[in-house]
Amino acid sequence: MLAEEGFSIEKELANMEHCFVATYGSGKPVIFILAEYDDALGDLSQVADLAELKPEVQGGNGHGCGHNLLGTGALAGAVGIKDYMEENKLAGTIKLFGCPAEESGYGKAFMARDGLFDEVDVALSWHPMDISGTWAISSLAVYQVYYNFKGISAMS
């Protein structure tokens, strides 16, 4: 769809097979739109359209907290901005960053490490919620920690 909309696409960036940057336009400002996604999250398999827990595959992967919407919503935003720029003859560059591993947090870190965000003037991102609103917060709180305990339990 991005290619059909006139975006050029660079694939397999930051040593991640499913990482990409789709670019439209030229010059300033450079508008960054983050399209986050996960292949799926562990142990969230679920039969569609069913309010009770019923995995399609016991222990299988599935989507949670709107992960099925993050990439497609960002894509729609990028196309909408492109159309607005064309209609109003505005200069600028749109960069839609396809970011895998949203839940584990390492996708954006690898992309930043490789300088993919260096030329950005404005950054836009979103996450589905149960309310409509904006947040004025900043967070770099991504920790993936594994603990191994050895010894005798205190309950023994």
pTM of structure: 0.74
Measured from the Cβ of residue 126, the count of other Cβ atoms closer than 10 Å reads: 16
Query: Domain boundaries in the chain?
Result: 8-124
pLDDT digits (tens, 9 = 90+) for 43-65: 888 898 888 989 999 988 877 76
Report the chain's mean pLDDT, rounded to a whole number.
86
Do 67 and 103 form a contact (C-beta atoms < 8 A)? yes
Provide the CATH number for the domain formed by 8-124 in this structure: 3.40.630.10
For residues 55 and 78, what is the distance between their CA atoms, to the nearest angstrom? 34
Average pLDDT over residues 10-30: 94
85 in helix, strand or coil? helix
What pLDDT does residue 36 have? Answer: 86
Query: Quick one: which H or E segment has residue 36?
Result: strand 30-36
| pLDDT bracket for residue 129 (50, 70, 90) | confident
Average pLDDT over residues 28-35: 94
Which of 120, 116, 98, 118 has the alpha carbon at shortest distance from 28? 120
For residues 101 and 110, what is the distance between their CA atoms, to the nearest angstrom? 10
